[in-house]
Structure 1
Amino acid sequence: MMPTPTVALSTHKSHVRTTPYRSLEELCGGDPQMQELITRGKLLIDRGIPILILGETGTGKEFLSRALHAFSARRNGNLVAVNCASIPESLAESELFGYCKGAFSGALPGGMKGKIQQADGGTLFLDEIGDMPFSLQTRLLRVLSEREVMPLGAPHPVSVDVHLICATHQDLKTLVAQGTFREDLYYRIAGGVLRLPTLRARADKYQLIMQMIADELSLIQAPDQILAPAALQHMLAYPWPGNLRQMHAVVRYCCAVMNGTRIEVSDLPEDLMQFQVESSPVENVRRITALPIFPRQSHSSTPSRDERSRVIDALNGSRWNISAASRQLGMCRASLYRKLRELDIPHLRDQAMPAYAS
C-alpha cells in the first residue's frame, strides 16, 4: 500500500501542520449511505461548487474535508482549516481576512495574511460555520461573490482563488429562521450538501471497530481475534452518542489497558461495561463480510501469493467484471483497480483470462 499522504492545515486550529488522513476509498466503508455520499462528493469537489458537510459531533466532518481536498485537483495547495467556534470574535476578522502593517495597535510589523489568503490555490475549510459571528458573515459573502478579500488597513482588495468546504452540526435553516445566520450566505455555501450518517445508523460498525483495532495495534491481519465476543456485543449494541470520535477513543483505551492479547468486557470503559446488552448470538456478526484492513505504512512489504490468488479467483468467478469482483472482495472499484496495479494483474479480460484461467 502507498504511504499515508499528509496535508497542510492552518493555525489556531489553524497553524500549518502535517496530519495524516484517510482516502475517500477508506472512508467509504461498508455502509450504503457512506458509499453514496462519497460518490457524490467526488462529483462535486472539482466543479467549483461550495460543499456543506452536515452531521452530528464526531461523525468525521473534518476527516471528510481532508479526503475531499486530497482527491481534488487542488491537492497540491494548502488545506486551511478554521474552527469558527474557537476564534474569539474580537480576533476573528483579522484571523480570517488578515491585516497590513500598522493596521492596529499590536499588529505584527509586517502584517499578516488571513486564513482565506493562506488557502489561495487550495481549499478553505470552515468548521462550525453556524457559530460564525453575524458581522463576519457579510464579509465572507462578499469574498465568495467577488473572489477577493480586503485585509484590515489595506488600500485595495486582494484576489483569491479558494474552494470552500463548510461543516456544522447545527441546523442552518433554523438559524436562518431565527435571524442569526444570513439566508443569502446559506444558499451560497450550500451548493452541494453532504450529510454524514450517525454511527448508530451505520451498517458497518463491525468493520469500523476492526479497522480501528488494526490501526491502533499496527495489525495487518486478524484484528477480530483481539476482541472477545462479549466485548464485541457491547460495542455493537452501544448507541455511540459521540460517534466515530468516541469509538476511536474507546478502542485506544481498550488497546492500552487490555491484559494480554485480547480485549474483554472488563477492559471496556465504564459506560460501555455497564450498558445492558440483549442476548443475541455473536455468530451473526461474524458472517459479515469484513472490509479489507488498511495496514499502517509499510515500505518493505510485498504482495503475498495468497492475496494475488484471492484477487484472481474473484475476477475469474465474476468473469472479469470489475464491479462484481470488487463487491466479492469487499472493496470499492477504485481500490480494486489500485490492487490490480500493485499485483501487476492486467484488468482487461481479453488479456488476462488466457493467462490466469483455471
Structure 2
Amino acid sequence: MTAHDPSDRARADSSRSSGLPLSRLCGDDPTMLATLSRARLLIDRQLPILILGETGTGKEYLARALHDYSHRRQAAMVSVNCGSIPENLIESELFGYARGAFSGALSTGMKGKVVLAHRGTLFLDEIGDMPAAQQTRLLRVLSEREVTPIGSAEPIAVDLQLICATHQNIESHVEAGTFREDLYYRIAVGIVNLPPVRERQDRAWLLQSILESEAPGMTLDANVDSEAREILLHCTWPGNLRQMRAAIQYACAVRTGELIRAGDLPANVQPGKGVGVRIGLSHSARHADAPRIPVAPPSERDNILRALSASRWNISAASRELGICRASLYRKLRRFRIPHVRDLGSDMLMADHG
C-alpha cells in the first residue's frame, strides 16, 4: 500500500479546526446537555457519528467541537459539503486521482479529502445529497479502510474518524431507494439529534453568547431594551442559530446608541413581518390591535418561497439566506414543485403560496 508523504500533514494542517469547545455549545438546556453527553461517549469510542438537525442548528459547530475533544485533535478535521460540489467533481474531491488520470487532471495528481483526513476527522456535511455512485465508493472506503484514487491501481490505507450531518430525513431516503441502506447503517452507528432553537430552554444564553462575540462588552440585560429582548426570546427562529446570529449582527450595525431597540431588529423577526413570527409573548410586548392567534412554524416550502421572493428570485442570494448551496436549492425547487421565475411569474407563484 502507498505510504503517506509529509505533504499530507502540511496540507491537512490548513484545515485545522477552530471551533468552540463542547462546554460552550449550550447553556442549561437539558436536551442539549444530554445530547452533548451522548456525543462525548460516542467520540471517545471513535464510532461513526451522524448529526441530525434542521438547517442552522449548529451541526458543523458540534462536529468541530467533537473533533477538538477527541483523541485525534492534533490532526486535521477535513470538511466536505456533499451538496455544494458538482456531481461530476465529487468523486475526485473525495477520493483524489492519480497523475494523468483524465484530461485536464493536474500533472501531479491530487490527494482526495479522505486521504487528507488520515489520522484525523472527515466531516461529510449534507451526506443525504451524496450521489449514488459515490455512496458505493464511500461504503467501500469505510469497509476496507483504504481508498483507491481515480486512475490508480494501488490503494492507500486510511485511518479516520467519520462524522456526517444532514438536515434531511435520511431514513425516508433509504425507504425511497435514493440512499444506500448499508451505508446508512455504517454511518449511523451513533445518531445525535440537535434540537431547533425554538425548542431550547437556553435561548437567553444563546443570544448573550452571540452578542458577546459580535459586540464584546454588551449584555442582553444592559444593552437590549425590554421589548427587543422579548421579541428575541420568543421568536420561532426558523433559521435557528444562523438566523439568530444574523439578527444580532444587523441590530448591532444599525443601533444608534448603546441600546438595541425593537426597531433595530431585522424585519424577519418582527411580529407579522417575516418568517420569525413571535409566539407566547406577554401582553405588554404585543401590539394592542394584534390578533392573538397561535402561528405554526412555517414549512420548508414556505421558507424557500419567502427567501426567493425577498431576493427577487436570485438563486445565489436565496441559497445564502436559507443556509444551503445552490445545488441543494435547485433540488428543493424540484422536490416541492416550485417552478423557476423564468418559467412562471413570481406573482403567480406567490399567489399559489398564499
TM-score normalized by the length of structure 2:
0.73
CA contact (8 A) 2:18 2:64 kept: no
- Kindly indicate whether residue 67 of structure 2 is the aligned counterpart of residue 69 of structure 1: yes
Deviations 1:76-103 (A, max 9, x none): 1110000000011100110000001010
Among 220, 224, 227, the residue aligned to 1:227: 224
Q: Are 2:148 and 1:146 equivalent residues in the alignment?
A: no
Q: What is the match of residue 270 of structure 2?
A: 273
The Cα shift of 1:218 comes to 1.4
Q: Does 1:48 align with 2:46?
A: yes
Residues 1:94 and 2:97 are matched in the alignment: no
Amino acid at match of 1:233: E
Distance 1:146 1:19, change over 3 A: closer
Q: Is the 8 A contact 2:82 2:127 kept in 1?
A: yes
Counterpart of 1:191 (choices 183, 189, 192) is 189
Quote the Cα distance in structure 2 between the aligned partners of 1:42 and 1:28: 14
What is the total number of aligned residue pairs between the two structures? 271
Conservation of the 8 A alpha-carbon contact between 2:17 and 2:64:
no
Q: Separation in 2 of the partners of 1:18 and 1:258?
A: 36
> Structure 2 CA distance, aligned partners of 1:178 and 1:121?
35
Give how far 1:18 is off. Answer: 5.8
Which residue does the alignment assign to 1:84? 82
Q: Does the 8 A contact of 1:50 with 1:164 survive in 2? A: yes
Q: Using the alignment, how far apart are the partners of 1:226 and 1:40 within structure 2?
A: 36
Which residue in the other structure is 2:314 paired with? none
In structure 2, the residue matched to 1:203 is 201
Within-5 A mapping of 1:1-358: 16-17=14-15, 20-219=18-217, 222-275=219-272, 278-280=281-283
Q: Deviation at 1:158?
A: 0.7
CA RMSD of aligned residues (A): 2.1
Aligned match of 1:315: none
| Per-residue Cα deviation, 1:186-230 (whole angstroms, up to 9, x for no partner) | 0000000000000000001011111111111112x7442011010
Q: Following the alignment from structure 1 to structure 2, what is the Cα–Cα distance between the partners of residues 145 and 53?
A: 21
Residue 122 of structure 1 and its aligned partner are, at CA, apart by 0.1
Change (3 A) 1:280 1:274: closer
Q: Does the 8 A contact of 1:214 with 1:223 survive in 2?
A: no
Percent same amino acid among aligned pairs?
53
- The amino acid that maps onto 1:151 is P
Provide the rounded CA distance (Å) in 1 between the counterparts of 2:198 and 2:109: 47
Aligned mates of 2:283, 2:201 — CA distance in 1: 17
Amino acid at match of 1:112: M
The one-letter code matched in structure 1 to 2:241 is L
3-state SS, counterpart of residue 89 of structure 2: helix
Which amino acid in the other structure matches residue 255 of structure 1?
A: C
* 1:322-349 Cα distance to aligned partner (Å, 9 max, x none): xxxxxxxxxxxxxxxxxxxxxxxxxxxx
Q: Which amino acid is the alignment partner of residue 253 of structure 1?
A: Y
- Greater Rg by CA: 1
How far apart are the structure 1 equivalents of 2:44 and 2:141?
A: 19
Pair 1:155–1:134, CA change in 2 (3 A): same
Query: Secondary structure at the residue paired with 1:139?
Result: helix
Paired AA for residue 207 in structure 1: W
**Structure 2: 5+ residue runs without aligned partners?**
1-9, 273-277, 286-354
What TM-score do you get using the length of structure 1 for normalisation? 0.72
Q: CA deviation at 1:21?
A: 1.7
* 1:174, distance to aligned residue in structure 2 (A): 0.2
Q: Offset of 1:153 from its aligned partner? A: 1.0
Deviations 1:13-68 (A, max 9, x none): x9945663211000032211110011111111031210000000000000000000
Query: Hey, what's the Cα distance between the residues in 1 that align with 2:184 and 2:107?
Result: 36
SS at match of 2:25: helix
Report the secondary structure of 1:90's partner residue: coil
CA drift at 1:236: 1.3
How far apart, in 2, do the equivalents of 1:126 and 1:259 lie?
42
Matched position secondary structure for 1:112: coil
> What is the CA deviation profile of residues 119-161 of structure 1, one whole-angstrom value per residue up to 9, with x for unaligned ones?
0000000000000000110110000010000101112111000
Contact 2:112–2:149 (Cα < 8 Å) also in 1 = yes
Name the structure 2 match of 1:330.
none
The 2-side partners of 1:93 and 1:15 are apart by 22
Unaligned residue ranges in structure 1 (runs of 5+):
1-9, 283-358
Aligned twin of 1:320: none
* In 1: Cα distance, 2:147 partner to 2:165 partner: 21
Distance 1:281 1:38 in 2: 36
SS of aligned partner of 1:28? coil
